[in-house]
Amino acid sequence: METFKKVAIIGTGTMGPGMGAVLERAGSKTLLYDISAEALEKAAVGVDMARGVLDRLAAPSVEGGSIEFSTSLEAAVSDADLVIEAIPEKIDLKHTVFSQIIAAAPESAVLASNTSGIPITKIAAPLPDSAERIIGMHWSNPPHLIPLIEIVPGDQTSPEITDRLVEFVKSFGYSPVIEGEVPGFVENRILYAILRECLELVERGIISHADMDTCVKWGIGYKLAVIGPLELIDMAGLDIYENVGSYLNRDLSTASEVSSFITERTKNGRLGLKSLGGIYDYTAEEVAAKGAERAGKLIAVRKALVGDS
């Protein structure tokens, strides 16, 4: 199995701490970089939380793993085998940071981006001398709980780099899926298609937002955790899908703009958990409790699905 003994994660934010905890557990010496000591203090708290979740999952642990923190990008990447960029989704910023990484990292280092949808070919465009080792490595949030990673080569990514990263992901028990470049990548495209239809039905008054959540969690959500969508078609029958799709597809939402159900709320500063109100209202205590509750449920689901492919 492929291993990367030294990994640098550039940008902590939401994903970095969980990614770091997973890679530490996989035996990699992992260095988390961010621009300020304050950001790294928050990251350290996130790492400890992720470690606790991995303990509850009884995730396998390989000796030799560790986590360090740094506000020096050069020091973070200077001897890295794998660099994972996890900064905000601004392509100009990514170009700048990748240029800095390339200047300081070994020429043999694999350069991955945790972008959730910017084409890898566009990220690599101004960096032709290093384009063959630049690749997408999109983790799902929370990364220490969801064992899926989208591997997305760019037009110039070396097949060898793709193969190495796939083998590395497998080595720590996660499932890699190899995808061609498409805006949003596959997971987010499916998610946003579902969200678009959900929001339209709520906005039209067909169903309340609370009942929609119940419907999806106990309807398709419950099934899709065990049966993939194409397996589901086989189970139901392709003839059934063809018959229903022949009339239903024409009635599904094709909206290209974001639903006013969302935009009206964002204009009023209702952003969700972060503002203690979005579609639902929350107290600070509820936000903290929901985080722990969701983690517990995801742990239970993942344990139940172990061995499923």
Give 3's pLDDT tier (boundaries 50, 70, 90).
Answer: confident
pLDDT at 226 over 70: yes
Q: Where a domain ends, among 148, 183, 218? A: 183
Cβ-Cβ contacts under 8 Å for 135 (sequence gap 6 or more): 110, 111, 112, 113, 120, 151, 152, 153, 154, 157, 161, 162, 165
In the chain, the percentage of residues whose pLDDT exceeds 70 is 99
Domain span holding position 81: 6-183
CATH of the domain at 85: 3.40.50.720
Judgement on whether residues 172 and 200 belong to the same structural domain of the protein: no
Judgement on whether residues 141 and 198 belong to the same structural domain of the protein: no
For 62, the 3-state DSSP assignment is coil
pLDDT at 160 over 70: yes
Judgement on whether residues 84 and 108 belong to the same structural domain of the protein: yes
Which range has the worst mean pLDDT, 165-179, 207-221, 285-299? Answer: 285-299
Q: Is residue 1 part of a domain?
A: no
So what's the pLDDT on residue 305? 87
Q: Which helix (H) or strand (E) holds 110?
A: strand 110-113
Judgement on whether residues 120 and 19 belong to the same structural domain of the protein: yes
Q: Where a domain ends, among 155, 183, 211? A: 183
User: What number is the average pLDDT over the span 93-98?
Assistant: 96
Judgement on whether residues 152 and 219 belong to the same structural domain of the protein: no
So what's the pLDDT on residue 117? 86
Judgement on whether residues 178 and 192 belong to the same structural domain of the protein: no
> Do strands 110-113 and 134-139 pair parallel, antiparallel, or not at all (unpaired)?
parallel
Q: Is residue 272 part of a domain?
A: yes
Q: Report the distance separating Cα 277 and Cα 266, nearest Å.
A: 10
Give 2's pLDDT tier (boundaries 50, 70, 90).
Answer: confident
Token pair 């940071």: residue: 97
So what's the pLDDT on residue 292? 87
Judgement on whether residues 116 and 130 belong to the same structural domain of the protein: yes
Q: Where a domain ends, among 183, 213, 236? A: 183
User: What number is the average pLDDT over the span 256-272?
Assistant: 96
- Partnered with residue 8 across adjacent β-strands are 31, 83
The pair phi, psi for residue 227, each rounded to 5°, is -120, 120
Q: Is residue 156 part of a domain?
A: yes
Judgement on whether residues 43 and 173 belong to the same structural domain of the protein: yes
pLDDT at 288 over 90: no
Per-chain mean pLDDT for the chain: 95
So what's the pLDDT on residue 308? 52
pLDDT at 16 over 90: yes
pLDDT at 287 over 80: yes
User: What number is the average pLDDT over the span 78-84?
Assistant: 97
Q: What's the number of domains the chain is made of?
A: 2
* pTM score, whole prediction: 0.92
pLDDT tens profile 38-57: 999 999 999 999 999 999 99
Judgement on whether residues 293 and 150 belong to the same structural domain of the protein: no
Contact in structure between 21 and 50 (CB atoms under 8 Å):
yes
Q: Is residue 51 part of a domain?
A: yes
Q: Is residue 124 part of a domain?
A: yes
User: What number is the average pLDDT over the span 293-302?
Assistant: 91
Judgement on whether residues 115 and 60 belong to the same structural domain of the protein: yes
So what's the pLDDT on residue 307? 60
Judgement on whether residues 217 and 142 belong to the same structural domain of the protein: no
CATH of the domain at 236: 1.10.1040.10
Judgement on whether residues 80 and 147 belong to the same structural domain of the protein: yes
Token pair 């067909």: residue: 206
Token pair 């994972």: residue: 84
